[in-house]
Amino acid sequence: MSAQAQHNQQFIDSFGRRIEDMRVSVIDKCNFRCTYCMPAEGLAWLRNREILTFDEIERVVRIAAERGVTQIRLTGGEPTVRKGLPDLISRLIRVPGVEEVTLTTNGFLLRRMARELADAGLTRINVSLDTLTREKFAHITRRDHLDEVLAGLEELEKHSTIRPIKVNAVAIRGFTEPEVLDFARFARRKPYVVRFIEFMPLDADESWSREQLLTGREIYEMINAVYPLVPRDTDPSSTSRVYRFADGRGEVGFINPVSEPFCSTCNRIRLTADGQLRTCLFSTWETDLRAPLRSGASDEELGRIMHGAVLRKEMKHHINDPGFVRASRSMSQIGG
Ligand code: SAM
Ligand code: SF4
């Protein structure tokens, strides 16, 4: 920990959770329209002046890093659509205290951008891919671009500084089951860690229902019956349970926020593209950083505002409780 980080009060919430991970959304726009995330059309975009500049993002990251945040994950919307993204990565990686800058992307632009991202200092990546079938891909993303995403993944393989390559699939009952074993074979054949994420009620269409939930446990059972799995030790704050195939060929993971919430070890906060700090994916409130950023607040003041939000971080999400209230924004607007 740097002297500066020791000097400033660390981000520890009222439940004793140390905040070390900040998800930074760099844009709300996207080149896909995944059914579980965005509406087909009609979502109003932020205006350019509403979106934080790179200088503003870097400043918020620096202040967070001085208070104990070490991991930065860039997301969106689709982060690769933000002009100059590699430049932002190389700036953030140099912020004292930041140990890693990672990216979550739909992969569409990776074939073109993988080299630039590697050169900028990106060391880890999550590529979202929910199906290996062209028709199903076109249905779920509302875009016919499976081949580009697969080509983007292959391009990543050439850049050995970006590892591991994680492929994240949102699991939806009635959609994912027929491909579970295909994904297992994909994870065995390719140098990608395939992870299944439970579908959460964060879709803009508000069509989520519990019947569509396909749990990580169910998928685990389907894979384990054919390709035996062995658990791997994971960091307690990790969102995923990771298993390797018993014969040593690859890994799969399960992110089970609905059926097995991991809120008690959550070490994350989120910054939206328009400069709102969120302490939970499911927060019904946000803390504005953009106004103080743009009206001359000092680093100390900004740090205090952020710390105030951290102290109000929710104990847990309430998806499974009666009277659950949906988040104030959908996934692409929050930054998943
Ligand atoms: N566009 C990028 C992408 O798709 O990877 C980054 C932003 S996207 C909002 C981040 C992640 O959230 C993706 O892995 C996506 O599959 C996931 N996601 C979006 N809506 C979701 C939902 N309702 N439930 C679970 N995961 C969701
Ligand atoms: Fe875009 Fe990612 Fe949302 Fe799909 S999940 S619509 S790629 S932001």
Predicted confidence at residue 203, as pLDDT, reads: 83
Predicted confidence at residue 293, as pLDDT, reads: 98
Report the alpha-carbon distance of residue 10 to residue 18 in Å, rounded: 8
Mean pLDDT for the chain overall: 94
Predicted confidence at residue 7, as pLDDT, reads: 59
Output the CA 2–ligand 1 centroid distance in Å. 33
* Top mutation candidate among 332, 333, 334 for ligand 2, by most atoms within 8 Å of CB: 332
Confidence of residue 172 (pLDDT cuts 50, 70, 90): very high
pLDDT above 70 covers what percent of the chain?
98
Please compute, for residue 31, the number of CA atoms within 13 A of its CA located in the half-sphere on the CB side. Answer: 15
Predicted confidence at residue 239, as pLDDT, reads: 84
Any idea what DSSP says for residue 53? P
**pLDDT per position as a tens digit, 174-204:** 999 999 999 999 999 999 999 999 999 888 8
Predicted confidence at residue 234, as pLDDT, reads: 80
**Whether the predicted pLDDT of 329 surpasses 80:** no
Predicted confidence at residue 6, as pLDDT, reads: 54
Which has more confidence, 57 or 7?
57
Give yes or no for a contact between 291 and 301, defined as CB atoms under 8 angstroms apart.
no
Is 3-334 in CATH node 3.20.20.70? yes
Confidence of residue 292 (pLDDT cuts 50, 70, 90): very high
| 3-state SS, one letter per residue, for 274-290 | CCEEECCCCCCCCEECH
Mean pLDDT of 78-91: 98
Give yes or no for residue 37 CB within 6 A of ligand 2: yes
- What is the chain's length? 336
Q: Residues 173-179: contacts with CB within 8 Å, 24+ apart?
A: 173/211, 173/212, 173/213, 173/214, 174/212, 175/130, 175/131, 175/136, 175/140, 176/130, 176/131, 176/214, 176/219, 177/214, 177/222, 179/131, 179/132, 179/133, 179/136
Report the alpha-carbon distance of residue 187 to residue 264 in Å, rounded: 29
Peptide bond into 292 cis (omega under 30): no
Predicted confidence at residue 261, as pLDDT, reads: 87
Predicted confidence at residue 243, as pLDDT, reads: 97
Give yes or no for a contact between 304 and 287, defined as CB atoms under 8 angstroms apart.
no
Q: How far is CA 93 from CA 53, 60, 123, 236, 310, in A?
A: 17, 14, 10, 24, 23
Give yes or no for residue 198 CB within 6 A of ligand 2: no
Atom of ligand 2 nearest to the CA of 37: 3
Give yes or no for residue 333 CB within 6 A of ligand 1: no
**pLDDT per position as a tens digit, 201-221:** 888 888 899 999 999 999 999
Any idea what DSSP says for residue 43? P
**Whether the predicted pLDDT of 327 surpasses 80:** no
Predicted confidence at residue 332, as pLDDT, reads: 84
